[in-house]
Amino acid sequence: MRLFAKNTSSLSGQVNCPGDKSISQRAIIIGALANQNISISGFLNGEDPLSTLSALNQIGADISINDNRVNIKKREIPFSNSSNSIDLGNSGTGMRLMMGLIAGIGLKAKLVGDESLMKRPMSRVSIPLNEMGANVSNSDGLPPIEIESREIRDDYAYDMPIASAQVKSSILLAGVASNTKVSIFEPSITRDHTELMLKHFGLNIKSEEENDGKRITFIPGNNFLVKDYFVVGDFSSAAFLIIAGLIADDSEIFIKNVGLNPTRSGLIDILIEMGGNIEIKNKKMLSGELVGDVFVKSSVLSGVNINGGIISNIIDEIPILSIAAACANGTTRISDAKELRVKESDRLEAIGSGLSRLKVKHELFEDGISITGGIPEHNETIEIDSHGDHRIAMSFLISSLKLKNGVNVDNCKNIYTSYPNFLETMNSLGMQINEQ
């Protein structure tokens, strides 16, 4: 799928932020584990959450979907082994969380994915699960994942060498599914959607600051409470709208229902430090998550240095942040972001490749990138390869706001994994993105 984004200079309007991809997947996993009649609204009807939904049904869950509403029915029989491989598509989150769930339940299963997912590292999850007593094998650290039935031991404690919300969540789900106590230390704070959701459903989750990180403990004993769930808007999706509004020459955008969980929304602080005109309105709590509306206007941005603990907070937003840096005055340096090399693509290389096509000065490092702002004038349409990565594709489509002859981006079908209405939303604000 090849998309062309024509240059436009003015963006305006009000849009709703799509449901959070990570929260959508966690909600159906935990909802299925609760084994109650539960309704989930605001669900992201995108390829990644749908892959996880299908995987859950394959092991015996009873989950149906109608647009953005999911219904989970109480099962009369327990989860069961799947005779066929469970295909998680492009969803790294789905695969890693399902590893913990299946290991904790004690099922036998084989997990696979698409070409991109089969190249993503899984040892960071399988190692602690095996230490818990599970039998999880992989192929030199990569999928396919083979899980054999084995009992999980009680009172397992794990200090993560590298902070990861997916590793933390997988271990927690294994503990909840096996009804055993688990404790995880994260060296820096990561997104806490799993902890908040387990608390929402009545389970005993304790979070305590420890050194520069946090220790999270699940203590068995409480039963799941029957509660419906509302999925707040995906901050990672809102980031594309926010930065588009900042770099467009003439823009005023109002984005409703944006998830503002402090472990996810660090990009707001960075963009304000860069000079972004951003205002948060109507804050409230929904299903344990902070949510609000974001108002954005055209801004003159300046480069900043970004490193340390904030990186895990903004890791998914770095591709679109790189476009903001390319439009800013001065130099932006991003470091401590080696994790970007093992995403859907090597995102550092993909960002660098795209910036080279834009003729933006930059320098790649093993753990980051330095970008000197200033997109020179081009007399031709820029050609970009997304490298099969949805965030790279959307980021460089947004760059068309600064390219007089627009941009062509190849391999854009991946956008549907996380933001299925991206084209419609951006075009409703004034962009002109069309399939070639």
pLDDT in tens, 346-398: 999 999 999 999 999 999 999 999 999 999 999 999 999 999 899 999 999 99
97: amino acid identity, one letter = L
Q: Is-contact 184 171, C-beta < 8 A?
A: yes
Angle subtended by helix axes 390-398 and 235-247, to nearest 10: 20
To the query of whether residue 316 is one of the catalytic residues in this protein, the response is yes
pLDDT in tens, 254-285: 999 999 999 999 999 999 999 999 999 999 99
pLDDT at 105: 97
pLDDT at 376: 94
Angle subtended by helix axes 123-131 and 165-178, to nearest 10: 30
pLDDT at 380: 95
Q: Is-contact 83 101, C-beta < 8 A?
A: no
pLDDT at 70: 98
The residue among 312, 30, 18, 315 whose CA lies nearest residue 169 is 30
**Of the residues 316, 346, 367, 385, which is catalytic?**
316
Share of the chain above pLDDT 70, in %: 100
pLDDT reading at 79 higher than 90: yes
The residue among 233, 240, 254, 238 whose CA lies nearest residue 44 is 233
The residue among 301, 293, 341, 299 whose CA lies nearest residue 318 is 341
pLDDT at 345: 78
The token duo for 305 is: 């240095």
pLDDT reading at 204 higher than 90: yes
212 band by pLDDT with thresholds 50, 70 and 90: confident
Question: Taking the CB of residue 312, how many other CB atoms lie within 10 A of it?
Answer: 22
Q: Is-contact 259 290, C-beta < 8 A?
A: yes
Query: What does the pLDDT average to over 235-254?
Result: 97
Residues paired with 112 in a beta bridge: 87
Residues in the chain: 436
pLDDT reading at 342 higher than 80: no
Q: In what order do the strands lie in the sheet with 69-72?
A: 63-66, 69-72, 38-41, 229-230
d(CA 200, CA 192): 12
pLDDT at 226: 81
pLDDT at 198: 97
Q: Structural domains in the chain?
A: 3-19+232-435 (3.65.10.10), 22-230 (3.65.10.10)
Q: What's the pTM value of the predicted model, to 2 decimals? A: 0.93
SS3 337: coil
Averaged confidence pLDDT in the chain:
96
pLDDT reading at 218 higher than 90: yes
pLDDT at 140: 93
Query: What does the pLDDT average to over 137-163?
Result: 95
pLDDT at 304: 98
The token duo for 139 is: 């192929």
